[in-house]
């Protein structure tokens, strides 16, 4: 009993120290960690030694004239680079991605392929992803331990079984991706999730234990369609079945165009990538960067496409903010590539249509234009166990 209690205390303290270092904005010293956690300096030092030996933390190399000397109370600590990593995979309608991400949030290896997967068949697509996954895993640096994998999919996922129930823009129904990926993954656990939820997780927590402010926001993930997620207190809201966040299917105009989902006038029929390209008179292969270039140059059709998308985003998002009282909106994916064009008009519409805007102005934030943030989010989620159960990793 005494040993069990001691083990569980050590587990809790290791997790506390790991969270404290990983979550710090500036690399803290052992003394800083002791001050924050209220553990004694000697306890902290012992735990830090274990986390450094186990590869979770590393000491920042001392600079000339700096205070740091390895193992000393004053040496700054940070997440180790290249020691623990997870594999993030993503199937988008326009790309396949495989990424190896480490504890610092750095990408150690990556394969990112632009490809048109609308109407694709699941089996050959999963075979292509498998080969990317294998190559990225093979590129892991020496001494790097891969501890998990995640797959981001553009549709409704059953979190329990890991099956994709439906991805209308891929044309996929009821697909189980696990078996096709079993070979390169071996014993690695694979967690399957919705791409917008995972991209939102990466935005909320750009490295395990690290949190961005504000920790409440509405995230839109633009691709061919539009996915979304709602983040409250840094955590992605799941809803009853894990299907929350389908902002792309909020109705903007009931008399609007038919959507693949069976409804009419859905947001993605105005602000999805294909809808914007078509409104701009461009073919489906055109990049969003090209659309943005044309709009910046004043091309009339491109500008009209941007205006129509911004109006639809303003209408749909004002409803979301009215319902949730979360006045921060993040534009990700292809919406980020045209984000500077969209943001002013979306901002103005939120100001006019959100009931509480008089007291708190809604804000529009443009994310990075990474086309596969869901892959990063899938890897980061798999790395979370370093913060929640470091003892299993350091004692292994």
- What is the binding site for a second copy (CB under 8 A)? 156, 165-166, 216, 228, 230, 237-247, 249-255, 261-263, 311, 315-316, 318-320, 322-327, 352-353, 355-356, 358-360
Query: Looking up tokens 């823009």, which residue turns up?
Result: 169
User: Is 53 or 323 the residue whose CB approaches a second copy more closely?
Assistant: 323
Long-range contacts of 138-144 (CB under 8 A, 24+ apart): 139/100, 139/108, 139/109, 140/85, 140/100, 140/108, 140/109, 141/82, 141/108, 143/82, 143/83, 144/82, 144/83, 144/84, 144/85, 144/100, 144/102, 144/108
Q: Where are the alpha helices (DSSP H) in 190-331?
A: 195-204, 268-271, 273-279, 288-296, 300-324
Nearest to 279 by CA among 246, 312, 249: 312
The tokens of 117 are what? 């997967």
User: Which tokens is 197 given?
Assistant: 């939820």
Nearer to a second copy, 187 or 255 (CB): 255
Query: Could you tell me the smallest distance in angstroms from the CB atom of residue 220 to a second copy?
Result: 11
Q: Compute φ and ψ for 33, nearest 5 degrees.
A: -65, -40
63 vs 359 by CB, closer to a second copy: 359
Q: Based on CB atoms, which residue is closest to a second copy, 3 or 160?
A: 160
**Least distance to a second copy from the beta carbon of 201, Å?**
17
- Rounded to the nearest angstrom, the gap between the alpha carbon of residue 36 and the centroid of all alpha carbons in its chain is 28
User: Does the N-terminal peptide bond of residue 239 adopt cis geometry, omega within 30 degrees of 0?
Assistant: no
Tell me whether residue 255 or residue 283 sits nearer to a second copy (CB atom).
Answer: 255
Closest separation in Å from C-beta 171 to a second copy: 15
Which candidate, 84, 85, 63, 59, places its Cα nearest to that of 73? 59
Strand ranges of the sheet holding 172-175, from the earlier edge strand across to the other edge:
156-158, 163-167, 172-175
Question: In the bound complex, what is the minimum distance in angstroms from residue 324's beta carbon to a second copy?
Answer: 5
Instruction: Name the residue nearer to a second copy (CB basis): 107 or 165.
Output: 165
Pick the closer one to a second copy by CB: 264 or 287: 264
Q: DSSP character for 61?
A: P
* Three-class DSSP category at 5: helix
- Residue 381, burial from CB neighbour count under 10 angstroms (0-12, 13-18, 19+): buried
Closest CA to 309 of 263, 373, 266: 266
- Closest to a second copy by CB, 168 or 208: 168
């Amino acid at each position: 009993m005494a040993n069990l209690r001691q083990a569980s205390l050590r587990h809790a303290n290791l997790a506390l120290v790991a969270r404290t270092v990983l979550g710090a904005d500036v690399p803290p010293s052992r003394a800083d960690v002791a001050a924050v956690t209220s553990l004694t300096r000697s306890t902290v030092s012992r735990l830090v030694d274990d986390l450094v030996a186990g590869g979770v933390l590393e000491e920042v190399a001392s600079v000339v004239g700096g205070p740091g000397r390895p193992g000393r109370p004053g040496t700054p600590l940070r997440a180790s680079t290249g020691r623990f990593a997870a594999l993030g995979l993503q199937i988008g309608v326009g790309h396949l991605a495989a990424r190896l991400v480490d504890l610092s949030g750095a990408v150690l290896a990556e394969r990112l392929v632009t490809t048109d997967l609308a109407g694709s068949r699941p089996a050959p697509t999963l075979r292509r992803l498998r080969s990317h996954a294998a190559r990225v895993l093979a590129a892991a640096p020496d001494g790097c331990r891969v501890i998990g994998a995640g797959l981001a999919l553009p549709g409704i996922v059953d979190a329990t079984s890991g099956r994709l129930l439906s991805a209308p823009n891929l044309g996929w129904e009821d697909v189980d991706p696990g078996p096709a990926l079993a070979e390169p993954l071996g014993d690695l656990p694979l967690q399957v999730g919705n791409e917008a939820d995972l991209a939102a997780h990466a935005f909320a927590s750009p490295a395990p234990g690290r949190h961005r402010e504000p920790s409440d926001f509405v995230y839109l993930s633009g691709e061919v369609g539009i996915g979304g997620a709602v983040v409250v207190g840094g955590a992605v809201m799941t809803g009853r079945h894990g299907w929350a966040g389908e902002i792309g299917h909020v109705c903007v105009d009931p008399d609007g165009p038919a959507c693949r989902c069976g409804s009419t006038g859905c947001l993605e029929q105005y602000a999805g990538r294909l809808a914007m390209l078509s409104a701009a008179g461009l073919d489906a292969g055109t990049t969003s960067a090209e659309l943005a270039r044309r709009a910046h140059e004043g091309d009339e059709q491109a500008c009209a496409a941007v205006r129509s998308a911004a109006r639809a985003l303003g209408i749909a998002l004002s409803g979301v903010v009215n319902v949730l009282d979360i006045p921060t909106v993040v534009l990700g994916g292809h919406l980020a590539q045209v984000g500077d064009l969209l943001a002013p008009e979306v901002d103005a519409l939120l100001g006019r249509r959100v009931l509480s805007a008089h007291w708190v102005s809604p804000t529009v934030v443009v994310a990075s234009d990474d086309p596969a943030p869901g892959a990063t989010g899938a890897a980061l989620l798999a790395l979370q166990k370093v913060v929640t159960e470091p003892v299993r990793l350091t004692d292994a």
